[in-house]
Structure 1
Amino acid sequence: MRAAEDDFDGGPVRCPAPASAAPDRGAEPRSRGAFLDARSLIGCRHRLHLDAQHPELLAEVREDPGVQQRREAATAHRAKVRDELVAAAPDEWVVIDPGLRAAERVAATMGALEAGVPRIWGALLPQEADTGRRGGVEFLLRDAERGGYIPIIVVNHKVTDPRRPDPADFHPLTSDLFRWAPRRDKHVKLRPQPRDQQRLAHLYRMLQRYGMASPALVGGAIGLAFDRILVHDLTTVLADYDQRYADRIAVVRGDLPTQPSKVPECRQCPWWVRGPEGSPSCEGQLAIMRDVSLVAPGSRAEVLRGHGVHTIDELAAWEGEDPEDWQHGPFDEAVVTARAWIAGAPLVRRFEQVSVRRADVEVDVDLESYQEDGAYLWGTLLDGVYRPFLTWDPLPTTDEGRSFGEFWTWLMEVRAQAHAAGKTFAAYCYSRTAEDKWLYESARRFAGMPGVPTHEQVRAFVDSIEWVDMFQAVTEQFICPNGKGLKKIAPVAGFHWRDAEAGGEASMGWYRRAVGYDAPSDLTQRTRLLEYNEDDVRATQVLRDWMTHRAADEVPALPDFGR
């Protein structure tokens, strides 16, 4: 089981010398027969070590529902891309049957490559016993001009964003989906995806081994939008890939030691809460060590270790000038966070008073979405009454437009009535990124349906002072040693969710059962989702009241922990 590749922290990786670009095909295999695919190049090195050393324990771990759902969505996306590409020019394609045994798929792939087939889908390249490389690719495109093949991956995330043309901007290379013709594309901007570049470099090295790599030194990625191929120049990527691969294969083979460190990936990693037999979990080991990553996760911890700070206590005792290479906000706050953790304080108040915008009429809003398919539920709370606007038709569905239109109409009516009565109005959410995204997306997708606003109407609302992000209010008011998520902050204010498993990842599985994706609809899961959504909006309301009336008395202030 692998973590979602989005969890890569992006911090520095200490690497030995680069791996050979084209190993001797007759070289003797190294010990333990370890193999590595491109997914293992991004993410936690210690997890990679534990996965390799204790595969029997992984077999007992139930896969995270969110990871499973993302995999299923990716499989469906790739099938759609395959069907449309092959249908456009069936005579140019060889499609490798995924039902074949691995050896048969490899043989079919190598036969197609040697025959010079223009386009190959579902290629599986030979495992390399000496280097440990293994991997496959959705799409291999023959380079008609230079010879060899260009690897093109199909991914279930965005690789570009739309934008208005600007001559001053950098324009990425893209190509038409059905005819390879790379050119500068002024209509999109690049979304950096290191994982995609590493995978393409991995595949390029595997093709290069057999003299099948295009000398153009490029690869491609077809993203979620399925509207173009983003072209990646691999010239500068390969050297970094070689170093990263050499490091990771050495970890898998047990030739390099690793230590746990808290990174975003830990949220979904089985080793975070469970260690190998007789050993503590990563969380337990870090707590014993009082490791600095517990309060400065990811690349922050790497910076601190570079200055000799390995424990929370060492960070709390920091004196002197701030590190010149610290790029994670005020360094004083990192020191205060360490001191608060030692004192057991879940929050530290930045100012003498705590404030949050209040209004005569207040509405709390929280949405529930499924993958990139849509937002099926807009939950609201007004005067203590919970009101959901929803569809139980499986997404994607036009009925989502009906429920969104009803939600927007109701919200704007409440707002208009408040204004007409001479009262102030505010709508609240927690971390507005998702709400803003689906407000805009829903307005675009369902334009013209009853009650659905225009893009300009959405923008006017979300840019106004009447749309309040409680996450921003918390960020501005408090330092949070244990994190700033609603599930971390609301319990400090005295709120608790009815469902012990409540969370975004878990809700994905509940939704699948609620609408009957895999079996007949489970109505109990609909109730579960509604209660979860209701608890979220009530949590923001409780948090707001707490910040207004009690937080200043209950939360220690910054001077109590200052340097």
Structure 2
Amino acid sequence: MLTGRVPAAEGDRPVFLDARGLIGCRHRLGLDATYPEQLADVREDTGVQQRRAAAQAHRDRVRDTLVAADPDSWVIIDPAQSARARAAATLRACAAGAARIWGGLLPQEPDTGRRGGAEILLRDESGGYIPVIVVNHKVTDPRKPEPAEFHPLTSDLLHWHPEPDRARKLRQQPRDQQRLAHVYRMLQRNGLAPATPAGGVIGFHFDRILVHDLTAVLTDYDTRYADRIAVVRGEVATVPSKVPECRQCPWWTRGTAGGCQGWLNEHRDVSVVAPGSRADVLRGHGVRTIDELASWMGPEPEDWQHGPFEEAVVTARAWLVDAPLVRRFERVWVRRADVEVDVDLESYQEEGAYLWGTLLDGVYRPFVTWDPLPTEDEGRSFVEFWTWLMGVRDQAVAAGKTFAAYCYSRSAEDKWLYESARRFAGRPGIPTEAQITKFVDSVQWVDMFQAVTDQFICPSGKGLKKIAPVAGFAWRDPEAGGEASMSWYRRAVGYDGAPDLTQRTRLFEYNEDDVRATAVLREWMNPRDPVEHCAEREVPTLGDFAQAPGTPSPAQT
């Protein structure tokens, strides 16, 4: 296995770390720094490329809008210059008292290893500069005012004036705060820090600046930075541990012994069944392997905050016998109705939802726009979908029948139902947000993901691509997945050339398979008629894993 340790011959070379390395996998950070040559032939994921391009387009739009509003107050740092020249230009602009600087870069620090900058530096009353970063993700959500709740600070885009914002609720984005703390420390180094530790974020909606007080963040940042720079310098060795990032990491299958995946499976590492922070808690109690977790017989750890600990133990036991699912109860149930519609949408980043796919009585019906997003035609396709769905529901109710619409992991569908209602509000056929709420909060809107979560323990994951095959379903396209569909969509609408109609067919088939998978899963969980192929016959229960294999873990001995 490759280890994240810099060869001794390279140890004297200065290494640098920007804020991107503060969040994510430590082992990947070490491998990237140690073996950069092994990544030379790695083709960057198409989805990552698209998100990077979208982020740059967003930054350009923010820059052009803000500079146009008050061009005389801005100094623009030329991004075509070298890093050294950009840093020098930034320091000159600060020394000259520039009110606003776009594209500021601070001098690299060979001793600390820091490098970085911010899209915007705003001069405050003390003569220091407040860092403001521009990101292409949401940093707040709208909400009705709640006097008793915490209200985030926001500021006008053109005048720095933080005040509590009762119309918004905060989205936790630790990466943003870490980046602001990183830039703040670099401003301190150059005598340019603002009077109070603060920074701002302009998010996807580009309507306000979210203001962060960095006072409490800096302590965590300093600890995190000291650890991460030590990893990059090879002063600390790292080993793999499964985290969500693994799904798109080039080191997952790269290197000796099958990469990180091979190493984790060979060592039966506990993070395989308890990824992320759960594994950290278990290691703190001496549990490092799946076998040790499966053998746990004592009370649960006092610092366990990840759901019932018994389920973590059962997950380990199920993994050892290759059981993809474990039933929590003797009977498996999901709400059934006389009239059932399956729903799945396809969206492109934050630009919109271009396809609402449905399945009724075995017939697939898509509601789609092939005008490149963002487009007004999205509103037309959404109205057609919503009108059809509500029509099916109303006809069922009028006939004295029950109705239910099913999706898998409703967060995406709910998001774009509300987003569509807001974006196209007031147009003929567009539902109000209140109408959306009434529907999604009713028993007629059923989330199959929640039904799976409530009734199964899933050692290999709870995604539809993991669960539906257990019920006997298979996708036609071996590359089917959310990231792949982003690339298919770009080609389908002609973002990068002439529209490719074959990719439209591919997207229809992918979407159709998703709704059919949901229908198959529902019938498998709660069949209308007794059948041989069903969950209660094929999936073991918690009781089947009541006895621990092997010997007690080190934590109990």
Which moved further from structure 2: 217-226 or 42-51? 217-226
Q: Among 15, 18, 27, which residue is 1:37 paired with? A: 18
What CA distance in whole angstroms lies between the structure 1 residues aligned with 2:37 and 2:500? 33
- Give 1:137-152 correspondences, 5 Å limit: 137-143=118-124, 145-152=125-132
Q: Among 255, 268, 272, which residue is 2:235 paired with? A: 255
1:511 aligned onto 2:489: yes
**1:515·1:522 contact (CA, 8 Å) conserved in 2?**
yes
- Give 1:341-490 correspondences, 5 Å limit: 341-490=319-468
**2:76·2:103 contact (CA, 8 Å) conserved in 1?**
yes
* 1:65 to partner: Cα distance: 1.6
Q: Deviations over 1:465-499 (max 9, x none)?
A: 11111111111111100000000000101111111
Q: Deviations over 1:350-406 (max 9, x none)?
A: 111111111111111000011111100000011111110000001111111100100
* 1:441 to partner: Cα distance: 1.2
What does residue 7 of structure 2 align with? Answer: none
What CA distance in whole angstroms lies between the structure 1 residues aligned with 2:13 and 2:523? 59
CA 1:185–1:419: 2 relative to 1, 3 Å: closer
Q: Deviations over 1:121-180 (max 9, x none)?
A: 01121111111111121000111x211111110111111222222221222222111011
1:545 aligned onto 2:523: yes
What CA distance in whole angstroms lies between the structure 2 residues aligned with 1:547 and 1:279? 38
What CA distance in whole angstroms lies between the structure 1 residues aligned with 2:434 and 2:95? 55
**1:219·1:233 contact (CA, 8 Å) conserved in 2?**
yes
1:208 aligned onto 2:208: no
- Give 1:72-151 correspondences, 5 Å limit: 72-143=53-124, 145-151=125-131
For 2:158, give the aligned amino acid: F
What does residue 239 of structure 1 align with? Answer: 219
1:298 aligned onto 2:279: no
* 1:30 to partner: Cα distance: 7.2
Which moved further from structure 2: 293-302 or 236-245? 236-245
Which moved further from structure 2: 100-109 or 331-340? 100-109
Tell me the C-alpha RMSD between the 2 structures.
1.3
What CA distance in whole angstroms lies between the structure 2 residues aligned with 1:383 and 1:185? 48
Q: Among 148, 158, 161, which residue is 2:138 paired with? A: 158
Q: Deviations over 1:80-117 (max 9, x none)?
A: 11011101110010111212222222222121112111
**Stretches of structure 1 lacking an aligned partner (at least 5 in a row):** 1-28
**1:158·1:225 contact (CA, 8 Å) conserved in 2?**
yes
For 1:215, give the aligned amino acid: A
What does residue 159 of structure 2 align with? Answer: 179
For 1:235, give the aligned amino acid: T
Question: Which secondary structure state, in structure 2, belongs to the residue aligned with residue 410 of structure 1?
Answer: helix
What CA distance in whole angstroms lies between the structure 1 residues aligned with 2:468 and 2:520? 7
Which moved further from structure 2: 544-553 or 102-111? 102-111
Q: TM-score scaled to structure 1, two decimals?
A: 0.93
What CA distance in whole angstroms lies between the structure 2 residues aligned with 1:164 and 1:425? 31
Q: Among 40, 46, 55, which residue is 2:27 paired with? A: 46
* 1:279 to partner: Cα distance: 4.5
What does residue 4 of structure 2 align with? Answer: none
Question: Which secondary structure state, in structure 1, belongs to the residue aligned with residue 526 of structure 2?
Answer: helix
What CA distance in whole angstroms lies between the structure 1 residues aligned with 2:499 and 2:34? 41
**Stretches of structure 2 lacking an aligned partner (at least 5 in a row):** 1-9, 528-533, 548-557
What CA distance in whole angstroms lies between the structure 2 residues aligned with 1:529 and 1:322? 46
What does residue 557 of structure 1 align with? Answer: 541
- Give 1:219-238 correspondences, 5 Å limit: 219-238=199-218
What CA distance in whole angstroms lies between the structure 2 residues aligned with 1:409 and 1:359? 20
Question: Which secondary structure state, in structure 2, belongs to the residue aligned with residue 388 of structure 1?
Answer: strand
Identity among equivalent pairs (%): 76
What CA distance in whole angstroms lies between the structure 2 residues aligned with 1:256 and 1:192? 29
Q: What is the total number of aligned residue pairs between the two structures?
A: 532
Question: Which secondary structure state, in structure 2, belongs to the residue aligned with residue 94 of structure 1?
Answer: strand
What does residue 554 of structure 2 align with? Answer: none
* 1:280 to partner: Cα distance: 3.4
For 1:555, give the aligned amino acid: V
**2:75·2:102 contact (CA, 8 Å) conserved in 1?**
yes
What does residue 523 of structure 1 align with? Answer: 501
**1:32·1:253 contact (CA, 8 Å) conserved in 2?**
no
- Give 1:269-288 correspondences, 5 Å limit: 269-275=249-255, 278-288=256-266
Question: Which secondary structure state, in structure 2, belongs to the residue aligned with residue 271 of structure 1?
Answer: coil
What CA distance in whole angstroms lies between the structure 1 residues aligned with 2:274 and 2:453? 16
For 2:250, give the aligned amino acid: P
What CA distance in whole angstroms lies between the structure 1 residues aligned with 2:506 and 2:146? 47
**2:351·2:373 contact (CA, 8 Å) conserved in 1?**
yes
Q: TM-score scaled to structure 2, two decimals?
A: 0.94
Q: Among 204, 218, 224, which residue is 2:198 paired with? A: 218
